């Protein structure tokens, strides 16, 4: 299989090259993101390998299909950037459902601790030989209530970490995990009872802007918001207003709804056009990381292994356990449950 690899970063090359050489998958690493303008680079390849900010909309699907591409191998779990409905019948889509839930959950906790114990400020201060403690007062996590939205792989690891800190955990999930011992509540209840809220559900039409100007009104004053899932779960303008009105006490963001042209790139020395992001970053109680929650050695290794195995399995069998389509999860229309393939 010849695979055109888009949005390549230096850290991708070594693990993917190693896995490719072991298994006979030939990766060609392209720096640009996949868009309608760059889809032509995939001419002559069997598949494309894409990440969170590549675009696989209807136009890109048609271009890839026209170039002879038949496989989209996502090297991530989320697939909100792929028009899976339009791709159905043309491009098979495979993803990496899990590579290290620990990487993301641990990053969420790292952001939380950094924020509430002012570690980012202390780091800068002591480097400047400023040993003053003024403005550094934090609060204990022990005994606080954390609301976890989405209790899948990452959400559950985050819950375990929070329990280790002696926090009270409540959760909301559209599909509750039976027998998990998790204390499920409604989303409005979660919003109004939590001191800290962490988002771990996928971005769908239903979850888009689930934290917005109206739902922010339900929050406890001073709530800490953590988002390591997908930016558009939160209306960024409304979050900014919530911070200004002091309802939101702090925000820890690894994702941002308009991140696709910004995150992963170096804009130091440039004027930031995105006023909302610039204003958020300027706030003393906001920490932004650049969609790096996944970035651990273990996760990179697992991503490369699973992606390559997905490609090999697909080449050999024309099907793959990690294939997905818009019927997935619908027991009435899902062909994969009967035929082991989406189409
Ligand atoms: P998962 O599929 O194991 O869990 C997702 C959970 O969300 C499930 O329990 C599901 O029932 C729940 N859910 C679905 N629709 C919902 C709704 N409308 N309301 C509430 N809950 C709903 O996924 P996993 O592996 O835990 O990943 C969660 C998300 O984390 C991914 O969708 C992805 O967007 C994000 N992610 C972010 C990374 C980063 O580097 N920042 C890396 C990997 C994933």
How do residues 104-152 score in pLDDT, each as one tens digit? Answer: 999 999 999 999 999 999 999 999 999 999 999 999 999 999 999 999 9
Reduced to 3 states (helix: H, G, I; strand: E, B; else coil), residue 71 is strand
pLDDT score recorded for residue 338 = 76
Atom 23 in ligand 1: residue holding the nearest Cα: 152
236 C-alpha to ligand 1 centroid (Å): 19
pLDDT score recorded for residue 41 = 98
Which two tokens mark 191?
């919003």
Atom 17 in ligand 1: residue holding the nearest Cα: 174
Residues lining ligand 1, Cβ inside 6 A:
77-78, 98, 101, 104, 149-155, 172-175, 200-203, 206-207, 228-230, 254-255, 291, 293-294
- What is the best residue among 110, 202, 290 to mutate for testing ligand 1's pocket, by most ligand atoms within 8 Å of CB? 202
Interatomic CA distance for residues 73 and 182, integer angstroms: 34
How do residues 48-106 score in pLDDT, each as one tens digit? Answer: 999 999 999 999 999 999 999 999 999 999 899 999 999 999 999 999 999 999 999 99
Q: Across the chain, what does the average pLDDT equal? A: 96
| pLDDT value at 295 more than 80 | yes
Atom 19 in ligand 1: residue holding the nearest Cα: 174
Active-site residue, from 63, 107, 118, 230 = 230
Active-site residue, from 63, 92, 156, 291 = 291
**What does pTM read for this prediction?**
0.92
291: annotated active-site residue: yes
Phi-psi region of 204 (alpha: psi -120 to 50; beta: other; left: phi over 0): beta
Which two tokens mark 4?
């055109």
By mean pLDDT, which of 212-221, 237-246, 327-336 is the weakest?
A: 327-336
pLDDT score recorded for residue 147 = 98
pLDDT score recorded for residue 339 = 77
pLDDT score recorded for residue 334 = 82
Which H or E run includes 335?
A: none
Q: Which domains does the chain have, with CATH numbers?
A: 2-99+297-324 (3.40.50.720), 101-288 (3.40.50.720)
Interatomic CA distance for residues 252 and 247, integer angstroms: 15
Binning pLDDT at 50, 70 and 90, where does residue 332 land?
confident
Which two tokens mark 294?
């996944």
341: annotated active-site residue: no
Beta strand 47-50 with 2-5 is parallel
Share of the chain above pLDDT 90, in %: 92
CB 72 within 8 A of CB 48: yes
């Amino acid at each position: 299989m010849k695979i055109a690899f888009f949005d390549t970063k230096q850290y991708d090359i070594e693990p993917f090259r190693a896995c490719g050489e072991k298994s006979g998958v030939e990766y060609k690493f392209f720096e640009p993101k996949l868009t309608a303008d760059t889809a032509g680079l995939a001419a002559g390849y069997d598949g494309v390998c894409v990440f969170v900010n590549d675009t696989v909309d209807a136009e890109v699907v048609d271009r890839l299909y026209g170039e002879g591409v038949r496989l989209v191998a996502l090297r991530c779990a989320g697939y909100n950037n792929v028009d899976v409905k339009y791709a159905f019948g043309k491009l098979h889509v495979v993803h990496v459902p899990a590579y290290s839930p620990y990487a993301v959950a641990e990053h969420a906790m790292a952001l939380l601790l950094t924020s509430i114990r002012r570690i980012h400020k202390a780091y800068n201060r002591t480097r400047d030989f400023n040993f003053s403690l003024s403005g550094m007062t934090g609060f204990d996590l022990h005994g606080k209530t954390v609301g976890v939205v989405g209790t899948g792989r990452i959400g559950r690891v985050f819950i375990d970490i929070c329990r280790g800190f002696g926090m009270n955990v409540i959760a909301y999930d559209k599909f509750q995990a039976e027998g998990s011992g998790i204390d499920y509540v409604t989303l409005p209840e979660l919003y109004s009872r939590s001191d800290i809220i962490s988002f771990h559900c996928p971005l769908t039409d239903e979850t888009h802007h689930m934290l917005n100007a109206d739902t922010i009104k339900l929050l406890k004053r001073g709530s800490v918001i953590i988002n390591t899932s997908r930016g558009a779960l939160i209306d960024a303008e409304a979050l900014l207003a919530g911070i200004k009105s002091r309802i939101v006490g702090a925000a820890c963001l690894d994702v941002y709804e308009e991140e696709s042209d910004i995150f992963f790139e170096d804009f130091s020395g440039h004027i930031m056009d995105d006023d909302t992001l610039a204003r958020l970053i300027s706030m003393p109680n906001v920490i932004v990381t650049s969609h790096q929650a996944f970035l651990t050695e273990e996760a990179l290794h697992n991503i490369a292994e699973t992606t390559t195995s997905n490609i090999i399995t697909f080449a050999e069998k024309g099907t793959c356990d990690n294939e997905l389509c818009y019927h997935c999860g619908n027991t009435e229309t899902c062909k994969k449950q009967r035929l082991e393939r989406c189409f």
